[in-house]
Chain A
């Protein structure tokens, strides 16, 4: 019995650890619930939202304990209560009641928000419950300290159980044993923040390495967290693994929970290291600044276009995509070398059949911008229109056709009501630019091929894509920027005698556009926009027409298809 009691012996670091752990869990709860505020109504107040009853799958609340079952209107108060308790925990003003309330509130709120829970929420429910003991202040001092230690040990044991169970159940899975499990996880679309598949392809060894090291680290954490003077290693490794999970699989809140829980394991040696580091570096303003600069520079470097890293990624992706196309592919996916290429994922590829093209009205979306540009160039060739032509906006400022075609007029789509204000002349993609080009072509009474077969669809206002139809002035000419082509065969006529390489905005990747309808996504030129990329990412069929620096002549392929 004495050896067991020794396990719960009070140590001088306990109060510091409890304070740190309380601070971190409070912060996590605060962050978690604040970050869910934008979807508050879908989670807790949706008209369709049901209160869970006993006997359902998942969290099972004894009915008597769940006040939200009886009083659903209490939800906002419980929510505010949670936030308040979390703030109190962070401020170190906790007592046993506050700790009980925060556990209870989180517990009943999460029971309703069952759709968004993960392992992190599960762990926090348990440790919040155990941490009620961390503020036990009744009876003699010895008992107080003992019970607080019990609470701390329970939290530690719970964390170790997580890792042991995770390891144990992985050992029972074939895919983990043969080292391919991550290959499948990387394909589940909600866990794709980085294209791991391309990494596995480029560096085949990385797959078994990552799978086995995950398992080994889990076992290592579970077994060595108890060892004094050694636990800094599992804590650092675990933090690293969870940061990796957060960045590759996007499981940020889960990873944060796990990292927060390591704080319950810190001992005096680790605390003193943290303290030493703090005194040596963080207290010194100059070194702090230095760290910021290094981190900032590193981030800039990795995200900079054309950097070696992003080039590597994009090369990897293009190779990956090209290799994985079917033999009977008619349209090829091409992505030029930008660092966003990692966003293209394997599931975005499928093939559009020729007969589909002839049967369907092809929604071109912003591809229409390219056609407008092509038409404009054709007319310029004939000497009817010129890129140097100026138009005067109602506010008196003038912009050239060239600027409009290049999206460098400074007209901003989002501020369309005041679109007449010309801002700086940097690249600013907007529908208004091309609408104005369309308007100009029309005013010149030039025969505008687009008129014959492109129409501007009349979408209901609910469609998120077309919210911009409220823009009054240029709506009429919006089809120069955005439209549906009724006969894809007509597209062939337009594209026939034009070299896509000569389209000014295209060669510089500046008249890109894309459109997505259902599972089909079409884009042209370089992919440089976040939204475009996101659509590509989610689409089932992607058609990317492109022309530059690639060995395969894509426009020919496209034309042969048409």
Chain B
């Protein structure tokens, strides 16, 4: 009886990990498997693969009463390398994923909806099903308010994008492409 129980449990174990394996190696996700995996066992191990990111993006803020773009992550990286075990890296991640999400949703909108050239703000309504972009946008606005204070009439949000240089054997650097995408 005990052996029967054990065998049943072991079988469940094997089934579980077989499903996970199918989930992980199959690029086209299967609905039934998703239904089982996604809620609790959702995972993604494509760390920097198949190809790593070839650009960095940062959230930048411009206040109407000040010149220039302000980068809220200024100094965080250096602080992180000094005190790696506190929250600095998570703060970098915070700003980074906000900018990344805004950037992603922007390009998606460009492709899929009428929101392509309209500012993100005007598109806010169609964000209904886009919880993360909306959350990211609200968080970014909040950060903007914190930076500019109440004196600014208008707060501009932007994503600073920096494209990585392509590798060449001489490692001679071309001018790196960098741009600021204004979001509103």
Contact = CB atoms under 8 A, between A and B. Distances in A.
A324 B172 CA distance: 7
Contacts of A119: 44-45, 47
A296 interface: no
Interface string A340-364: 0001001100000000000000000
Nearest to B105: A57
Given A172-B50, A534-B74, A461 B85 contact: no
Interface in B8-61: 9-10, 13-14, 16-17, 20-21, 24-25, 38-56, 58
Contacts of A55: 129, 131
B51 A165 contact: no
A142 B130 CA distance: 50
A56 B132 contact: yes
A49 interface: yes
B6 A146 contact: yes
Interface stretch (A154-162, A376-384, A420-428, A489-497): A154-162
A460 B52 contact: no
Contacts of B153: none
A166 B49 contact: yes
A59 B141 CA distance: 23
A538 B73 contact: yes
B6 A8 contact: yes
Contacts of B73: 538
Nearest to A103: B40
Nearest to B180: A519
A173 B51 contact: yes
Contacts of B80: 193, 250
Interface stretch (A40-48, A276-284, A544-552): A40-48
A184 B52 contact: yes
**Interface size range of chain B in the complex:** 35 or more
A454 interface: no
A197 B82 CA distance: 20
Contacts of A460: 65, 149, 151
Interface centre among B53, B131, B146 (most CB of A within 10 A): B131
A127 to B, nearest CB: 11
A117 B132 CA distance: 13
B134 A116 contact: no
A5 B90 contact: no
B5 A143 contact: yes
Nearest to A176: B49
A440 interface: no
A516 B66 CA distance: 13
A165 B151 contact: no
B9 A176 contact: no
Nearest to A42: B94
B77 A185 contact: no
Interface string B106-146: 00000000000000000000000111101110110110001
Interface in A1-18: 1, 4-5, 7-8
Contacts of A200: 171
B14 to A, nearest CB: 7
Nearest to A342: B81
Contact of B68 (A183, A253, A518): A518
Taking chain A's interface residues, is the majority helix, strand, or loop, or is none over half, making it mixed? helix
A174 B52 CA distance: 10
Contacts of B48: 170, 181, 185
Interface residues of A, number: 104
A89 B91 CA distance: 27
Contacts of B5: 143
Contact of B91 (A39, A204, A462): A39
Given A35-B85, A161-B24, A116 B40 contact: no
A62 B39 contact: yes
Instruction: Point out which of B49, B65, B86, B151 has the most chain A C-beta atoms below 10 A from its C-beta.
Output: B49
Contact of A60 (B42, B65, B130, B134): B42
B84 A250 contact: yes
Contact of B175 (A37, A65, A326, A463): A326
B49 A126 contact: no
Contacts of B139: 42, 46, 48-49, 115
B90 A39 contact: yes
B183 interface: no
The CB with the most chain A CB atoms within 10 A, among B39, B98, B134, is that of B39
Contacts of A106: none
A447 to B, nearest CB: 31
B142 A47 contact: yes
A172 B49 contact: yes
A45 to B, nearest CB: 12
A173 B46 CA distance: 11
B20 to A, nearest CB: 7
Given A4-B14, A48-B138, 12 more contacts: A31-B85, A56-B132, A60-B38, A61-B39, A166-B47, A172-B49, A174-B51, A190-B96, A204-B171, A250-B84, A460-B151, A517-B67
Interface of B: 2-3, 5-7, 9-10, 13-14, 16-17, 20-21, 24-25, 38-56, 58, 65-71, 73-82, 84-87, 89-94, 96-98, 101, 129-132, 134-136, 138-139, 141-142, 146-151, 160, 162, 164-165, 167, 171-173, 175-176, 178
14 contacts: A5-B10, A39-B90, A43-B90, A52-B135, A56-B130, A115-B98, A116-B93, A143-B2, A161-B45, A170-B48, A184-B54, A184-B167, A190-B56, A250-B80
